[in-house]
């Protein structure tokens, strides 16, 4: 497996589940447990890649495409986004963007196949309006944007951040 694929697996193992949807409340593993397991297997082929992947893993990604998007953004020199953090937009509305840059008020959503269902389209429109109403810029990413090493996704997010006065270091 590649480091990216291993990072996807590690993110999945570390993520905090949503009990309403998954019927469990604890992650599959804790970072300490994974580090200990890697320590027990020193010298095993692939262990160095696994260590790099665990270093790159983050709690908060809800899907493999979200992890791949985060990695592509970071690899392109963009700042590390927050992952699925509840964001108070106004008194009655809290949204939880897949990735976010609160300082620049940029939210990034990966819209997978489930976002084409009629009810989800309605919810997505409401989400988009909530972000716009409060001065946030919402960047929507699809599977198409992730082709060619996610160049289109990176370009969209970079453009949004730059429009909000972010400058690369």
Domains by residue range for the chain, with CATH: 1-59 (no CATH), 60-169 (3.40.960.10)
DSSP designation for 116: G
Specify the pLDDT at position 90. Answer: 82
Cα separation, 110 vs 59, in Å, equals: 17
Average pLDDT over residues 59-74: 96
pLDDT recorded at residue 115: 65
Q: What is the pLDDT of residue 114?
A: 67
Query: What is the per-residue burial (b if ≥16 Cβ within 10 Å, else e) of 94-131?
Result: ebebbbbbeebbbbbbbbeeeeeeeeeeeebeebeebb
Judged on CB neighbours under 10 Å (0-12, 13-18, 19+), 153 is buried
Digit-coded pLDDT (tens) for 87-139: 888 878 888 899 999 999 999 999 877 667 777 788 889 889 988 998 999 99
Phi, psi of 60 (to 5 degrees): 130, -20
Cα 120 to Cα 55: distance, rounded to the nearest angstrom: 34
Least confident of 34-38, 65-69, 72-76, 116-120: 116-120
Measured in degrees and rounded to the nearest 5, phi and psi for residue 62 equal: -95, -5
pLDDT digits (tens, 9 = 90+) for 7-54: 999 999 999 888 888 888 899 999 999 999 999 999 999 999 999 999
11-26 burial: b if 16+ Cβ within 10 Å, else e: bbbbbeeeeeeeeeee
Alpha helices in 23-63 (DSSP H): 31-40, 47-56
Res. 157: pLDDT tops 70: yes
């Amino acid at each position: 497996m590649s480091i990216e694929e291993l990072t996807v697996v590690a993110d999945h193992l570390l993520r905090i589940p949503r009990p309403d949807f998954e019927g469990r409340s604890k992650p599959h593993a804790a970072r300490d447990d994974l580090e200990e397991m890697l320590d027990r297997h020193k010298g095993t082929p692939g262990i160095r890649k696994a260590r790099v992947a665990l270093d790159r893993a983050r709690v908060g990604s809800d899907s493999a495409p979200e992890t791949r998007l985060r990695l592509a953004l970071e690899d392109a020199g963009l700042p590390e986004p927050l992952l699925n953090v509840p964001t108070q937009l106004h008194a009655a509305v809290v949204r939880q963007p897949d990735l976010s840059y609160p300082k620049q008020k940029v939210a990034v959503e990966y819209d997978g196949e489930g976002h084409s269902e009629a009810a989800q389209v309605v919810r997505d429109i409401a989400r988009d309006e909530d972000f716009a109403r409060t001065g946030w810029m919402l960047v929507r990413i699809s599977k198409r944007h992730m082709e060619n090493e996610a160049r289109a996704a990176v370009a969209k997010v970079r453009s949004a951040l730059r429009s909000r006065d972010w400058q690369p270091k």
